[in-house]
Amino acid sequence: MQAVAAPDDWMPAQAMSQGRVMSAPITTTGPLRFEGAWVSLDERYLRYGGSALTVWRVTRNADAPLSIMAHLVDAQGRVISGDDGLGVPIEVWQVGDTIVQRHVFKTQDLAPGTYWIETGVYRLDTLERYRILQEGRPVGDRLLLTSIEVKP
């Protein structure tokens, strides 16, 4: 699976044109590595909601509570719907475990336009996002997974 890594202050169009296209697995500065995602979104389904499964691998023990984010954002980067969470307590993690997190998007009456799904991991105590790494260097703090066009 490919995703685009970019800073969270870039609008989605800028992220798609100037961000780093990366293939899973994708390393972060945190204890999880992105392994892939399955997104159930099309224009017809999105009008009633949608979902995504993000897949992460535990690379080391977590030193703070954290959450996996998945947001549906509009062209201005505003979160239209979000489903952050972590279904597995960090206290039971073992290095090498795979975590599959389901994210549900609640959408109604979406205006025509392009929307994107973004994901990433952040600390719950500080809300700081872990950075996405490429060749050991930070290239952003979120991954854009896919886009969907809603027509009038």
pLDDT tens sequence across 110-119: 788 899 999 9
Question: Domain total for the chain?
Answer: 1
Mean pLDDT, the chain, whole residue set? 92
Give the separation between CA 59 and CA 41, rounded to whole angstroms: 29
- Output the pTM of the full model: 0.92
- Would the pLDDT of 41 be above 70? no
Tokens of residue 98, six digits? 């795979």
Cβ atoms of 41 and 62 within 8 Å: the answer is no
**Residue 49 pLDDT class (50, 70, 90 cuts):** low
**Residue 43 pLDDT class (50, 70, 90 cuts):** low
Q: Helices in the chain by DSSP H: which ranges?
A: 12-18, 43-46
- Region 106-132: mean pLDDT is 91
- Region 10-17: mean pLDDT is 96
Give the separation between CA 80 and CA 49, rounded to whole angstroms: 11
Query: Domain range spanning residue 8?
Result: 2-150
Cβ atoms of 76 and 11 within 8 Å: the answer is yes
For the chain, what percent of residues have pLDDT higher than 90? 75
Task: Report the CATH number at residue 9.
Answer: 2.60.40.10
List Cβ neighbours of 70 (8 Å cut-off, separation of 6 or more). 52, 54, 82, 83, 84, 101, 103, 105, 117, 118, 119
Per-residue confidence (pLDDT) for residue 111, from 0 to 100 = 83
